[in-house]
């Protein structure tokens, strides 16, 4: 559990979480206002009255239509209803423009977003920023560098006038109330620090945020019962992955982004605005706390973000560090905590049926260490649900649903309705990697007949087995003797996160099928993960690209001893020189 939550009474937290029915808590928090948090003008502090935008020039609309039908129709559909040919295989779903409901805004809850076809000013043109930066954590990409600034304004001119059908941006009855983050007096930012973070940790309990986002903020509080305004399943944000915040504008560690979301809410979702039941200061405390949960490096610094993926930059080398003595069995042991983590980027397996278009595990965190006898791998990943096959259930991979948008038996219709299978994780190595000449590798998906792989798979029912993979189209074959050499040290699900620690001897007698580890050599490695509540089984899974595991050579004893001996020698030599000089000076004085 996060260090801030751990300082709070567990019983108190549990009582707070159960104070209201699950799913209703966020709205009760909004209605349960205490204190004067609304300005005399009727607007919450920091909000100012805006004006309705003017209609775009008809030429802008016409040019935007051409762009829309070249670039946007495939996801958003001919009529902008979020039902394009690719919609059913995307999650979250593409935006349905018709109702004029947009999530990311600087406007008050329920209002239309800011859009001005003539002014692409940051903070004053919500829709332009969405098209420019995309929506991280979804299939909506950044169009900056693909469409010019003028083209982005043109396509938005078409969308806002022709595809938003239930409302009109220039309708004078539409209120425009803008969160003015530039007003430093009304929205005085609270400095990021321990005191503010601790206050935020208490506020997320008090305001019922934990009922949806979970006690440790991993989005596991209410993962199955929430739906958006269009009836599709929706999951609470995982605060530990700020790079997936939809409105992060490619700046995931920016605290003001979280403050904006707390102030405006997320239209079309169960996430409400907290502007009317919290003070400005309280929202900054919450924003600071949420930001503190986002993953950081060992020194506490934000992870570097790759501008092409909007995810943490990938290091494709997974180091295994040498350890003296026994490898600790407790993942909280200092030896484990001091090791560098590698984030393993995961994507849905969409090469062979049944394909995983709706992937719910987008990364793993891996550490590894070895001693003279064995090697250990520590896996951790966020999962909003603990999934395990019920007694009597036979695991059979699902039949891939047809690509029908929201219709019966479609992918969207089946979300949260799958048979529950085991959560699982696996790591795969070429069985005879020494014989493969780089950059050649076996096929990433279970190898191939001439280059078979050694795959270790853990499942939530407590099993850890070794398999031989000889191709994606052939069943994995368990090797009983090799399974006996694997040791499951720990598997635990807690507060929306799995922790799995496994070991195996560095060398085995079965050199044809068991991977043999050698220090200083790069071994091609692939990772797999399954979310049991997502119907994941067999080939329906999350998979990584190729990474490279390497056992870092231990530092020779000479490298540790020689520098000390040299330093001591230098000190002695310098002392000897100084004593001789002093002796000569005395002799010269006497003479």
Q: Phi/psi at 269 (nearest 5 deg)?
A: -130, 170
pLDDT reported for residue 460: 98
pLDDT reported for residue 591: 61
pLDDT above 80: residue 36: no
Mean pLDDT, the chain, as a whole number? 89
DSSP summary character for residue 470: -
pLDDT reported for residue 21: 37
* Dihedral angle, C-alpha 317, 290, 196, 342, nearest 10 °: -10
* Mean predicted confidence (pLDDT) in 196-213: 98
Integer CA distances (angstroms), 107 to 50, 52, 110, 162, 347, in order: 9, 12, 8, 22, 34
pLDDT reported for residue 564: 62
Do domains 49-179 and 319-551 share one topology? The answer is no
* Mean predicted confidence (pLDDT) in 171-200: 95
DSSP for 251-263 reads: -TT-HHHHHHHHH
**Structural element, H or E, at residue 4:** helix 3-6
| CA-angle at 458, arms to 456 and 463, nearest 5° | 110
Return the HEC string of 99-139. CCCCCCCCECCCCCCCCCCCCCCCCCCHHHHHHHHCCCCCC
DSSP summary character for residue 564: H
pLDDT class of 49 with cuts at 50, 70, 90: very high
DSSP for 408-426 reads: TTSHHHHTT-SPP---EEE
pLDDT above 60: residue 29: no
The set of residues, in sequence order, having a beta carbon less than 8 Å from that of 377 and lying 6+ positions away, is: 366, 367, 368, 427, 501, 502
Question: What number of other Cβ atoms are within 10 A of residue 339's Cβ?
Answer: 18
pLDDT above 80: residue 579: no
Class of domain 49-179: mainly alpha
| CA-angle at 287, arms to 312 and 129, nearest 5° | 60
How far apart CA 445 and CA 14 sit, in angstroms, is: 43
DSSP summary character for residue 339: S
- The pLDDT tens digits of the residues spanning 77-124 come to 999 999 999 998 888 889 999 999 999 999 999 999 999 999 888 889
pLDDT class of 67 with cuts at 50, 70, 90: very high
The set of residues, in sequence order, having a beta carbon less than 8 Å from that of 588 and lying 6+ positions away, is: none
β-pairing verdict for 547-551 and 317-322: parallel
Q: Write down the domain spans for the chain.
A: 3-45+182-293, 49-179, 319-551, 564-591
pLDDT reported for residue 408: 67
Would you tell me which CATH number, out of the four given (2.60.40.1190, 3.30.830.10, 1.20.1740.10, 3.40.50.720), belongs to the domain 319-551?
2.60.40.1190
pLDDT reported for residue 121: 87
* Dihedral angle, C-alpha 121, 126, 127, 128, nearest 10 °: 20
The set of residues, in sequence order, having a beta carbon less than 8 Å from that of 131 and lying 6+ positions away, is: 143, 147, 152, 155, 156
Q: Are 368 and 549 in contact (CB under 8 A)?
A: yes
- The pLDDT tens digits of the residues spanning 385-431 come to 999 998 888 888 777 877 666 666 677 777 778 889 999 999 999 99
Which two structure tokens, joined as six digits, stand for 138?
């979804």
Least confident segment among 197-211, 231-245, 404-418, 503-517: 404-418
* Mean predicted confidence (pLDDT) in 443-465: 97
- The pLDDT tens digits of the residues spanning 541-559 come to 999 999 999 999 987 655 5
CA atoms within 13 A on the CB side of 166: 11
How far apart CA 372 and CA 483 sit, in angstroms, is: 21
The crossing angle, in degrees rounded to 10, of helices 194-206 and 10-17 is 40
- The pLDDT tens digits of the residues spanning 455-509 come to 999 999 999 999 999 999 999 999 999 999 999 999 999 999 999 999 999 999 9
């Amino acid at each position: 559990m996060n260090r801030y939550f751990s300082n709070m009474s567990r019983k108190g937290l549990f009582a707070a979480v159960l104070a209201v029915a699950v799913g209703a808590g966020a709205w009760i928090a909004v209605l349960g206002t205490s204190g004067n948090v609304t300005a005399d003008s009727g607007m919450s502090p920091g909000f100012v009255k805006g004006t309705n935008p003017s209609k775009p020039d008809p030429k802008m609309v016409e040019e935007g239509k051409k762009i829309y039908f070249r670039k946007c129709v495939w996801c958003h559909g001919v009529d902008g209803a979020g039902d394009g040919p690719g919609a059913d295989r995307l999650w979250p779903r593409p935006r349905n423009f018709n109702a004029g409901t947009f999530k990311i805004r600087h406007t008050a809850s329920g209002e239309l977003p800011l859009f001005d076809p003539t002014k692409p000013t940051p903070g004053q043109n919500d829709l332009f920023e969405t098209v420019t930066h995309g929506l991280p954590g979804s299939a909506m990409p950044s169009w900056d560098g693909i469409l010019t600034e003028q083209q982005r304004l043109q396509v938005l001119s078409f969308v806002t006038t022709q595809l938003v059908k239930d409302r009109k941006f220039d309708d004078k009855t539409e209120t425009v109330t803008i969160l003015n983050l530039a007003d430093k007096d009304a929205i005085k930012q609270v400095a990021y620090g321990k005191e503010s973070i601790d206050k935020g940790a208490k506020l997320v309990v008090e305001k019922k945020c934990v009922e949806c986002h979970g006690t440790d903020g991993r989005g596991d509080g209410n993962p199955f019962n929430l739906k958006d305004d269009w009836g599709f399943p929706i999951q609470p944000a995982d605060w530990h992955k700020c790079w997936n915040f939809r409105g992060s504008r490619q700046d995931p560690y920016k605290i003001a982004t979280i403050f904006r979301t707390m102030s405006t809410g997320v239209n079309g979702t169960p996430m409400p605005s907290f502007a009317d039941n919290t003070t400005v200061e309280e929202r900054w405390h919450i924003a600071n706390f949420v930001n503190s949960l986002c993953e950081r490096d060992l020194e506490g610094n934000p992870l570097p973000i790759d501008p092409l993926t909007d995810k943490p930059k990938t290091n494709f080398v997974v180091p295994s560090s040498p350890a003296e003595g026994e490898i600790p069995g407790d993942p909280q042991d200092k030896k484990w905590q001091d090791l560098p983590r590698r984030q393993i980027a995961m994507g849905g397996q969409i090469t062979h049926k049944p394909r995983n278009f709706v992937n719910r595990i987008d990364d793993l965190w891996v550490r590894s260490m070895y001693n003279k006898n064995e090697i250990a791998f520590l896996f951790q990943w966020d999962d909003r649900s603990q999934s395990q096959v019920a007694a009597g259930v036979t695991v059979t991979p699902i039949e891939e649903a047809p690509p029908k948008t929201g219709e019966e038996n479609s992918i969207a219709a089946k979300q949260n309705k799958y048979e529950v299978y085991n959560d699982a994780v696996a790591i795969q190595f070429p069985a005879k990697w020494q014989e493969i000449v780089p950059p050649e590798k076996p096929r990433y998906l279970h190898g191939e007949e001439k280059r078979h792989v050694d795959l270790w798979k853990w499942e939530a029912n407590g099993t850890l087995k070794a398999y031989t993979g000889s191709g994606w189209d052939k069943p994995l074959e368990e090797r009983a003797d090799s399974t006996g050499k694997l040791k499951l040290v720990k598997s635990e699900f807690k507060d929306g996160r799995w922790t799995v620690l496994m070991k195996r001897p560095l060398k085995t007698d079965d050199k044809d099928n068991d991977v043999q580890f050698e220090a200083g050599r790069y071994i091609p490695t692939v990772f797999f993960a399954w979310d049991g509540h997502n119907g994941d089984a067999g080939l329906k899974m999350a998979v990584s690209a190729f990474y490279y595991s390497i056992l870092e050579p231990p530092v020779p004893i000479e490298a540790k001893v020689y520098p000390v001996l040299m330093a001591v020698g230098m000190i002695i030599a310098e002392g000897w020189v100084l004593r001789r000089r002093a002796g000569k000076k005395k002799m010269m004085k006497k003479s």
